[in-house]
Structure 1
């Protein structure tokens, strides 16, 4: 018998009255039949309740999503709307039928699963509503794409960029809502449900996290991208091609440069040239004295564009590059400066696939070797003049742009390019400076500007400049060990609150040169700078080969020296220094914080830290693929 009580379905199964004594075995079949009927009815009801999920699964299938995306990049959002309507209808039907499972919730474990399904299905309805709102916000941007997809004339491009500018606030709100939605899903209790359902819940959270990251990346590029895409006015870039096989402070030696102008998303100018062509024309005319280390250890008598990136603070280096570009005869305005290493080009090749340049197949793995061989010695074999030895880089860049234009799946290409740009900006293989204040502030907020960061706590950054070591840096293994102790003036451990307690740091930098003597690699000659908190006092240095000087720049104290590491050899230089009182007071008042910044252009240098502050001890081991922040709340 069926009845509804308190908005729940109640099933009553009448059983025959059992006899008071004897003959109970006659009723066992009746009891078994009743239990079986109860189970079979439960299975039937479950199938009835779950049937709409098949429709929902079809609406959200990979093949359906591909159809929707293909239509969307042509400006047709109708398939997306139909898909969302199907999904909403199926989920509503499923939620309406959940009441039919109420009679079985007394079975052990069923109650927890029903509670979970009700919560998740409710959040699913909310998520589909969010998707519909996002589609409404994106439609004005997608609509002008019809019917030509990503290939469009200037009026279409300007219409789309104008729509992006208009819709950005709404898209930002959607991202905030997505973050809130993800937190609500994360808060759903999974206690008592099956392991399989727990794994499914984890997969849902992972997908939401990826979606959140994707939306954030997209918004980051959209917010900064409009001016950089040449909207509403054309934007001109000076691109510094830095070779991180010959490391310099902002990523590598500037062997070539490019000029790129973008107008409403279209490239209207793109040239690549050897930096020596520009520098040679200015020789004897500028007479600019180079930084002293370039004079002392590289026999550099004049300063040119190729050495302009001496400051590790990229905004300063970029302004210096613009200054040299114009003084050496470079024409036209420069709105922004981009510095990139071959690592970026290799990552782009991994997206578009191998290219054929001058009969050679260039892949992400062979790019650096082929370029160095062509520029270093093959040009002479081919009979090219010295001034044209880097022309291959221009052909490679042009072919790379053309290959991007040939990728059939434009949405997949855009997603992959966004990922490559994001990763290389975070890993400081790609740096951007803009003369537009709003854009520069946005770059700085996202830490994409290649800045030496200001900190209230502890700080560490090692900066190397390869001076006359050919292309040896890929063969150099670097490691960094940091040791921090709270000590009194007698060198004994102390509590930070003690009057004479201070923080004493020790940084050891180790180099291992795995290179051999050949046309491309040699002994490693580096001018090293160690940036530490302003006001730090050098106590002792061991392992130095040349005199160590102390300077102040970029709001930091800097210890500087020169090192030479022979092929097959190694060297460790260790600095001991006392941190300033301001850092000790900050640690005592707030917490311990150490920002370790990586030098642009370097791979993931290993870092190991050992910290003893008062009675508290902790260790950290990280790689410096990106900047790392180490924090510890002291008891």
Structure 2
């Protein structure tokens, strides 16, 4: 019997196929919509990434060009305009909702977020900080007719006060947002860290300058002449901060015009006294003895420049009168940097000094011309040193001096620890607090940087450090021990005495006196400082265990002194290990005496990531 179909059944099933087709069409539409949105998002991200990358490339290129053309106002403005536009494009390309939505993706989300935050920060820095600052005509500062324009400096100070809060706001926002560099792709970690460092430095410098800006005209003698006691350190006879500061000058600044108004040497003050010229910190005396306060030549043995300045002012005021408003310390290497901006000088005796020969002339040749360590030769040495330093300072405000080049060279000297500054004015002191102007160990904690110190002090009496150099290696186990374990920091210094044996006989008496050590033999005190809160563990000299001759807690750090003697053409290796308690420790930063030659530093500190 055949199956029958109930009436109406067939007709009710007829629309089934069209309904299926509609569902398929709807599914296809949804699918293609999703695909379309996905493709659109991909395209948007691709275009955004391209625009952002292109903008960043332009920004970096224009920034480099700006550094070269900073003294050309027209080119500066052109570069600034391009940088503002590029930073804005980078910000726009990464700020839209599609970009932000992709930040939730695994693997690349953190990186996309970091790029967006950095683009926003760059836009803020360029538009709200750099552009307004560079809109100021820096050439108006001068020098003109031998003086800086004090009124222009005051205007620049006001401009800095206006933009400093924008830099600080950008810094605070980036800190609040937080970028975990350890979670970023390798190629992005370096640029992110670099931008964060630049932002932190920029905000810090502008904050300090904003504090100082009301004082800038007064510091340049706008209302009344300002006097600065300048210590010129002789780095042929090393001290912790640089060298023997036996040559001194009074720098007077009157309405932007600089002049050396008085010079003096160790013979003009009561150096070699029976007692310290002023009370010493007990830890300073324990490590360096009371020589620091009895001899002007030894006031720079301490790494604390505030103490050096205090003692230098006491020596000067005792016999020479008013010690001025502040103390500045420099060295011949810094003078060579300055001369790259000012050009050469010719002294009254016919000697021409330039950036290439000034170090050799001041630290070696002068002792060949005036070799004796007594009588008129000492006076002639001091006079030559003072004349050279005074002539170089005299060119600071000459028409031939390129102000932008000068600032660049002074900054180089600052970073190497060759410029130190201590003021009696509270505002000025606050502006430079916890910076390298205070000395190499200005950090009060280990949080941002774990600073270690290796400092050279000659113990021979002479100028034999002209023939020395040093390199330093530092390491730590901070990433290989538990958070609750003590940390170990090891510092190794390789000290080279490069005088050749055949040169000893011809050494001038002032270079190697032979009074305490036979001629050519060199005695050196190397002083090692550990992290804040550290303790001394051990020391080695040339691979053998060694007991330091002195040790104490100085500036909140354990410090030890090791004395050793060097024959000509010899090398000594000294190793000191410190232990530090559990805590937060930033990257290792090694500070050394600024020697005549650069001190290479190698740091072995595996990442904790």
Q: Structure 1 length normalisation: TM-score?
A: 0.60
Deviation at 1:224, TM superposition (A): 4.0
In 1, Cα distance between the equivalents of 2:554 and 2:577? Answer: 20
1:585 aligns with 2:582: yes
1:378 maps to 369
Contact 1:465 1:526 in 2 (8 A): yes
1:479 aligned to which of 451, 471, 492: 471
In 1, Cα distance between the equivalents of 2:486 and 2:425? Answer: 43
Structure-to-structure mapping, 1:342-491, within 5 angstroms: 342-357=332-347, 358-373=349-364, 375-379=366-370, 386-408=378-400, 413-452=402-441, 453-456=443-446, 458-468=450-460, 470-485=462-477
1:571 maps to 572
Going from structure 1 to structure 2, the CA distance change for 1:333 and 1:88 (only over 3 Å counts) comes to closer
Deviation at 1:86, TM superposition (A): 13
In 1, Cα distance between the equivalents of 2:292 and 2:312? Answer: 18
Going from structure 1 to structure 2, the CA distance change for 1:133 and 1:530 (only over 3 Å counts) comes to closer
Going from structure 1 to structure 2, the CA distance change for 1:124 and 1:438 (only over 3 Å counts) comes to closer
1:507 maps to 491
1:151 aligns with 2:126: no
Going from structure 1 to structure 2, the CA distance change for 1:601 and 1:321 (only over 3 Å counts) comes to farther
In 1, Cα distance between the equivalents of 2:428 and 2:210? Answer: 11
1:170 aligned to which of 162, 170, 188: 162
Deviation at 1:178, TM superposition (A): 10
1:605 maps to 599
1:262 aligns with 2:253: yes
In 1, Cα distance between the equivalents of 2:359 and 2:124? Answer: 49
CA distances 1:186-231 after superposition (whole Å, capped 9, x unpaired): xxxxxxxxxxxxxxxxxxxx9xx99999999799668647043234
Deviation at 1:138, TM superposition (A): 3.1
Contact 1:337 1:432 in 2 (8 A): yes
CA distances 1:490-530 after superposition (whole Å, capped 9, x unpaired): xxx985267xx543444332222111323346333111221
Going from structure 1 to structure 2, the CA distance change for 1:212 and 1:134 (only over 3 Å counts) comes to farther
Deviation at 1:342, TM superposition (A): 0.4
Deviation at 1:398, TM superposition (A): 3.8
Contact 2:160 2:206 in 1 (8 A): no
1:496 aligns with 2:487: no
Contact 1:513 1:568 in 2 (8 A): yes
3-state SS in 2 of match to 1:332: coil
In 2, Cα distance between the equivalents of 1:295 and 1:591? Answer: 28
CA distances 1:279-332 after superposition (whole Å, capped 9, x unpaired): 36x8579788999999999997981222222211111221121122223x1211
In 1, Cα distance between the equivalents of 2:258 and 2:408? Answer: 21
Deviation at 1:243, TM superposition (A): 1.2
3-state SS in 1 of match to 2:432: helix
1:315 aligns with 2:315: no
Deviation at 1:133, TM superposition (A): 6.9
In 1, Cα distance between the equivalents of 2:126 and 2:445? Answer: 43
CA distances 1:581-628 after superposition (whole Å, capped 9, x unpaired): xx4421xxx5664332223446432333445xxxxxx2xxxxxxxxxx
In 2, Cα distance between the equivalents of 1:476 and 1:88? Answer: 49
3-state SS in 2 of match to 1:245: strand
In 1, Cα distance between the equivalents of 2:129 and 2:480? Answer: 57
2:322 aligned to which of 321, 329, 332: 332
1:19 maps to none
In 2, Cα distance between the equivalents of 1:68 and 1:463? Answer: 37
Going from structure 1 to structure 2, the CA distance change for 1:277 and 1:377 (only over 3 Å counts) comes to farther
1:538 maps to 537
Contact 1:532 1:556 in 2 (8 A): yes
In 1, Cα distance between the equivalents of 2:122 and 2:522? Answer: 59
Contact 2:278 2:293 in 1 (8 A): yes
Deviation at 1:389, TM superposition (A): 3.0
Going from structure 1 to structure 2, the CA distance change for 1:563 and 1:288 (only over 3 Å counts) comes to farther
Deviation at 1:250, TM superposition (A): 1.2
In 2, Cα distance between the equivalents of 1:132 and 1:594? Answer: 31
Contact 1:523 1:564 in 2 (8 A): yes
3-state SS in 2 of match to 1:272: strand
In 2, Cα distance between the equivalents of 1:349 and 1:524? Answer: 32
2:94 maps to none
Q: Alignment length, in residue pairs?
A: 476
In 1, Cα distance between the equivalents of 2:321 and 2:84? Answer: 58
Deviation at 1:429, TM superposition (A): 1.0
Going from structure 1 to structure 2, the CA distance change for 1:416 and 1:177 (only over 3 Å counts) comes to farther
Structure-to-structure mapping, 1:592-631, within 5 angstroms: 593-601=587-595, 603-610=597-604, 618=606
Going from structure 1 to structure 2, the CA distance change for 1:174 and 1:536 (only over 3 Å counts) comes to closer
Contact 1:242 1:252 in 2 (8 A): yes
Q: Structure 2 length normalisation: TM-score?
A: 0.62
Q: Judge which range, 424-433 or 393-402, deviates more.
A: 393-402
Going from structure 1 to structure 2, the CA distance change for 1:299 and 1:239 (only over 3 Å counts) comes to closer
Q: Which of the pair has the greater relative contact order for Cα pairs under 8 Å at 6+ separation?
A: 2
In 1, Cα distance between the equivalents of 2:79 and 2:573? Answer: 62
Contact 2:417 2:440 in 1 (8 A): no
In 2, Cα distance between the equivalents of 1:344 and 1:472? Answer: 20
Going from structure 1 to structure 2, the CA distance change for 1:554 and 1:175 (only over 3 Å counts) comes to closer
1:237 maps to 228
Deviation at 1:256, TM superposition (A): 0.3
Contact 1:161 1:231 in 2 (8 A): no
3-state SS in 2 of match to 1:309: coil
3-state SS in 2 of match to 1:421: helix
